[in-house]
Amino acid sequence: MSSWGQRDRRGRDNSVKVLIFGATGMVGQGVLRECLNAPDVDAVTTIGRTPVEQTSAKLRQIVHADLADYRGIEEQLRGFDAGFFCLGVSSGGVSEAEYTRLTHDGTMAAASVLARLNPDSVFTYVTGAGTDSTERGRVMWARVKGKTENELMKLPFRGVYLFRPGVIQPLHGIKSKTTSYRWFYNVAGPLLPLARAWLPDVILTTEDMGRAMLAVARAGAGRAVLEAKDIARWARGDR
């Protein structure tokens, strides 16, 4: 597989294909929207337990119940230039063992398959601000995310990028599926545009997330971990 957007040795344009995990979530919806709107992305495939509501001629959906086991659908996971992993669960009221199973094990199951089938692709993982790369901190979710990040960077992708956003403002009618997050956005929503105007490198939007992921997949970021300020700069084309 050639690099993003380049022609092959015979001068033919390569078809750019993107795979999105968790496209029904808040971040995933934003990423999907930007991918569908990107003129250099020829095909977008989503994979999740439930279908997305969006429709497009370049959209294909894979509805798959077990996101820890891809053995039955591996042939459908070949030929991608980028994989955007936007699945995530809240750590509230969840044991460390269960959170590890859902967050670490689920992510690594998907990434390991993609690395084997698409080694020349880029893999982007949405983690979070405050992730603990040492894996030894007191905050459970941060340790688990840190462990996941560290193991992802060992996989043989062309590039692995770890997005660590903090507050994200949903745009274009996008809503979070998590009850506590919906409550937060209902309360803080009117203030977020003002806060974002003051702190453009701290408060991101779902649009920023999608645009930054595409930009990094196209060009490479030169570093694996991207904090909120880095994501904001890539989203607006300020590298």
pLDDT at 196: 74
Backbone angles phi, psi at 140, to 5 degrees: -60, -50
Which residue did the predictor score with more confidence, 188 or 148?
A: 148
Least confident of 92-101, 174-183, 202-211: 174-183
Average pLDDT rounded to a whole number, residues 170-192 = 73
Rounded distance, CA 236 to CA 113, Å?
A: 32
pLDDT at 173: 85
Rounded distance, CA 71 to CA 73, Å?
A: 6
Domains belonging to the chain, first-starting first, are: 17-235 (3.40.50.720)
Which contacts of 6-14 are long-range, i.e. CB under 8 A and separated by 24 or more positions?
Answer: none
Q: Tally the residues of the chain.
A: 239
pLDDT in tens, 13-43: 467 999 999 999 999 999 999 999 999 999 9
pLDDT at 197: 78
Rounded distance, CA 132 to CA 144, Å?
A: 8
Least confident of 69-78, 175-184, 204-213: 175-184
Which residue did the predictor score with more confidence, 93 or 113?
A: 113
pLDDT at 88: 87
Rounded distance, CA 61 to CA 52, Å?
A: 8
pLDDT in tens, 44-87: 999 999 999 999 999 999 999 999 999 999 999 999 999 999 99
Average pLDDT rounded to a whole number, residues 154-172 = 94
Rounded distance, CA 31 to CA 173, Å?
A: 14
Residue 222 zone, left/alpha/beta (φ > 0; ψ -120 to 50; rest): left
pLDDT at 3: 61
Q: Which has the closest alpha carbon to 132: 143, 119, 141?
A: 143
Question: Helices (H), strands (E): how many in the chain?
Answer: 8, 9
pLDDT at 74: 96
pLDDT at 194: 79
pTM of the model: 0.90
Q: Where are the alpha helices (DSSP H) in the chain?
A: 26-37, 96-100, 106-117, 140-152, 179-188, 192-198, 206-219, 228-235
pLDDT at 11: 46
